[in-house]
A and B are shown apart, each in its own frame.
Chain A
Amino acid sequence: MFRIIRKKKLNASVTLMEFDAPFIAAKVKAGQFVIFRVDEQGERVPLTVADSDPERGTITLIFQVVGQSTMKLNALEEGDSITDLAGPLGMPTKLPEQAKKICIIGGGVGCAIAYPQAKSCFLQGMETDVIAGFRSKEIVILEEEFRKNCHELIICTDDGSYGKKGFVTDALKERIEQGNQYDAVIAIGPVPMMKFVCEVTKPYAIPTIVSLNPIMVDGTGMCGCCRVTVGGKIRYACVEGPDFDGHQVDFNELMHRNGTFHQREAECRLLAQADQL
Chain B
Amino acid sequence: MPNLSERKIPVPEQNPDERKKNFSEVTLGYTPEMAQKEAERCLNCKTMPCMSGCPVNVKIPEFIQKIKEQDYEKAYAIIHQSSSLPAVCGRVCPQEKQCESQCVRGKKGDSVSIGRLERFVADWHMENCHFPVKKPEFNGHRVAIVGGGPAGLTCAGDLAKRGYAVTIFEAFHVAGGVLMYGIPEFRLPKEIVQKEIDHLKLLGVEIMTNMVIGKVFSIDELMEQGFEAVFVGSGAGLPRFMGIEGESLVGVCSANEYLTRINLMKSYQEGYDTPVLSSESVAVCGGGNVAMDAARSAVRMGAKKVYIIYRRSENEMPARKEEVRHAQEEGVQFLTLQNPVKILGDENDRVRALVCQKMELGEPDISGRRKPVPIPDSCYELPVDTVIMAIGTSPNPLLRKTTEGLETNQKGCLIVDESMMTTKQGVYAGGDAVTGAATVIMAMGAGKSAAQSIDEYIQQKRTKQEE
- Interface-facing stretch out of A11-19, A38-46, A172-180: A38-46
* Contact A217 B212, beta carbon cutoff 8 Å: no
Q: Which of B170-184 contact A (CB under 8 A)?
A: 171-173, 181
| Cα A260 to Cα B209 with chains together (Å) | 29
Flag the segment in B91-99, B120-128, B254-262, B456-464 that touches A.
Answer: B254-262
A259–B348 Cα distance when bound, in Å, is: 10
Smallest beta-carbon distance B219→chain A, Å: 14
Asked whether any CB of chain B lies closer than 8 Å to the CB of A229, the reply is yes
A225, B252: Cα distance in complex, Å:
9
The answer for the CA separation of A72 and B397 in the assembled complex, in Å, is: 33
B residues near A87, Cβ cutoff 8 Å? 212, 215-216
Q: How many residues of A contact B (CB 8 A)?
A: 39
Checking A43, A221, A222 against B274 with a beta-carbon cut-off of 8 angstroms, the contacting residue is A43
A221 touches which of B216, B272, B348, B396 (Cβ 8 Å): B396
Does A261 touch B at the CB level, under 8 Å?
A: yes
Residue A185 is within 8 A (CB to CB) of chain B in the complex: no
Residues of A within 8 A of B348 (CB): 256
- Asked if A222 and B265 make an inter-chain contact with CB atoms under 8 angstroms apart, the answer reads no
Query: Is A217's CB under 8 angstroms from B397's CB?
Result: no
B residues near A253, Cβ cutoff 8 Å: 248, 349
Q: How far is the CA of A227 from the CA of B239 in the complex (A)?
A: 10
Measured CA separation A69–B403 after assembly (Å): 34
Query: If the complex has contacts A84-B210, A88-B216, A217-B261, are A222 and B256 also in contact, measured as CB distance less than 8 A?
Result: yes
Total number of B residues with any Cβ neighbor in A under 8 Å: 42
Question: What distance in Å separates the Cβ of A30 from its nearest Cβ neighbour in chain B?
Answer: 15
Known: A89-B212, A224-B253, A224-B257. A261 touches B275 (CB 8 A): yes
In the assembled complex, A9 has its CB within 8 A of some CB on chain B: no
Cα-based distance from A52 to B257 in the complex (angstroms): 31
What are the residues of chain B within 8 A of A260 when measuring CB–CB? 250-251, 277
User: Which residues of chain B are near A223, meaning CB under 8 Å?
Assistant: 239, 254, 256-257, 260
List, in ascending order, chain B residues with CB within 8 A of A53's CB. Answer: none
Contacts of A218 in B (CB 8 A): 171-172, 181, 260, 264
Q: Which of A44, A83, A88, A224 contacts B215 (CB 8 A)?
A: A88
Indicate the member of B171, B212, B239, B398 with the most A CB atoms within 10 Å.
Answer: B212
A61-88, CB under 8 A of B: which get 1 and which 0?
0000000110010000000000111111
Asked whether A135 is an interface residue with its Cβ less than 8 Å from the other chain, the reply is: no
Partner of A44, one of B248, B249, B274, B277: B274
CB distance from B442 to the nearest CB of A (A): 19
* CA A98 to CA B27, docked complex, whole Å: 63
A189–B253 CA distance with the chains assembled, in angstroms: 26
* A257 interface residue (CB < 8 Å to B): yes
B271 cross-chain contacts in A, Cβ below 8 A: 41
Q: List residues of chain A with CB within 8 A of the CB of B23.
A: none
Assembled-state Cα–Cα distance A239/B256 (Å): 16
- Asked if residues B209 and A220 are in contact (CB atoms below 8 Å), the reply is no
Chain B CB within 8 A of A151 CB: no
- A41 contacts which of B181, B216, B273 (Cβ < 8 Å)? B273
Does B237 sit within 8 A of A, measured CB to CB? yes
Question: Would you list 11 pairs from A and B whose C-beta atoms are within 8 A, ordered by A residue?
Answer: A23-B217, A27-B215, A41-B273, A43-B265, A83-B173, A84-B173, A84-B209, A87-B212, A224-B253, A239-B396, A261-B275
Give the B-binding residues of A (Cβ under 8 A).
23-24, 27, 37, 41-44, 68-69, 72, 83-89, 217-218, 220-225, 227, 229, 234, 236, 239, 250, 253, 256-257, 259-261, 264
A27-B216, A217-B260, A222-B396 known; 16 new pairs, CB 8 Å cut-off, are A43-B265, A43-B273, A69-B273, A84-B173, A88-B215, A89-B215, A217-B265, A218-B260, A221-B397, A222-B239, A223-B256, A225-B257, A239-B397, A256-B250, A257-B248, A261-B275
Q: Which of B's residues lie within 8 Å of A, judged by CB?
A: 171-173, 181, 209-212, 215-217, 235-239, 241, 247-251, 253-254, 256-257, 260-261, 264-266, 271-275, 277, 348-349, 396-398
